[in-house]
Amino acid sequence: MAALFAGKTYWLVGASEGLGRSLALKLAGAGARLCLSARSEDRLQDLAAEIGGDTVVAPLDARDTDSVAAAFETLPRLDGVIYNAGVYEPTSAQDWDADAVEAMCDINFTGAARVMGEAVPALVRQGNGHIVIVGSLAAFGGLPGAIGYAASKAGAASLAECIRVDLPAPDFNVQLMNPGFIKTRLTDKNDFDMPHLMTPDEAANYVFKAMQGTRFRTSFPPAFARRFRLAGLFPDWLYFKLVR
């Protein structure tokens, strides 16, 4: 199945570390040509050197429309786009950090809209494409200390759903990936227990496998994801009591 990627060109935004970096290596190993974007050009260049071949490096700031557009102009014809860029800062309503909340909304959700605003019209013009947005299990409902993060990931999930409705299969494969906790510098900020904590490579395995199919929503790891889906069936009063 990995042969599906051979000869295909993917724009991976948020490729410099963590899940994005691991996924880039898996896609390259399956024969895909990668266009790598993130804010850190140095880390992108290091990854491109490790991948080799004709890997394209296109640094961008997902918060800046002009930066996204300029990066897109340097890319070859695309077969797919993956939006994996994201930021996280633990923030509660009691200790609202306006700058952190704005940054999470601007990168996790609006950044996805900026990137899709460049890539999707190009894919529509050519009549086909693979579109992947990395969301989060946090998007399933409100969580303590997740002001900004959960809301922005819920927005990204809705964005993926809307694209999926407008661009039906089989010409377009639109997918939403909802990971749980991944061991990165972002989750290192947490001071609470993180069930089913995954390494970036473990998380990339889930995404890579899901990308070989056509299922819209993939939430993982499965055992942890089931808890979120079950909680979504509870009445509001019980849900809020439990998550507190």
pLDDT at residue 188 greater than cutoff 80: no
- Concerning whether 149 is annotated as a catalytic residue, the answer is yes
- Split at pLDDT 50, 70, 90, the class of 161 is very high
Three-class SS of residue 217? strand
Q: Which residues, 6 or more positions from 37, have their beta carbon under 8 angstroms from its beta carbon?
A: 11, 12, 13, 14, 15, 44, 58, 59, 60, 71, 85
Confidence at residue 233, expressed as pLDDT on a 0 to 100 scale = 85
Structure tokens at 208: 């890579």
- Split at pLDDT 50, 70, 90, the class of 2 is low
Three-class SS of residue 239? helix
Q: Taking residues 91-107, report their average pLDDT.
A: 95
Contact 171, 130 (CB under 8 A): no
Confidence at residue 189, expressed as pLDDT on a 0 to 100 scale = 76
Q: Taking residues 121-150, report their average pLDDT.
A: 94
Structure tokens at 173: 């494969």
Annotated catalytic residue, options 88, 149, 206, 239: 149
Q: Could you give the domains of the chain? A: 2-243 (3.40.50.720)
Could you read off the pLDDT of 165-179 as tens digits, one per residue? Answer: 999 899 999 999 999
Q: Cα–Cα distance between 33 and 55 in angstroms, integer? A: 6
Contact 34, 45 (CB under 8 A): no
Q: Which residues, 6 or more positions from 183, have their beta carbon under 8 angstroms from its beta carbon?
A: 197, 198, 199, 200
Confidence at residue 1, expressed as pLDDT on a 0 to 100 scale = 55
Q: Full-prediction pTM beyond 0.85? A: yes
Q: Cα–Cα distance between 191 and 211 in angstroms, integer? A: 32
pLDDT, the chain, mean: 93
Q: Taking residues 56-73, report their average pLDDT.
A: 98
Least-confidence region, from 53-57, 151-155, 169-173, 223-227: 223-227
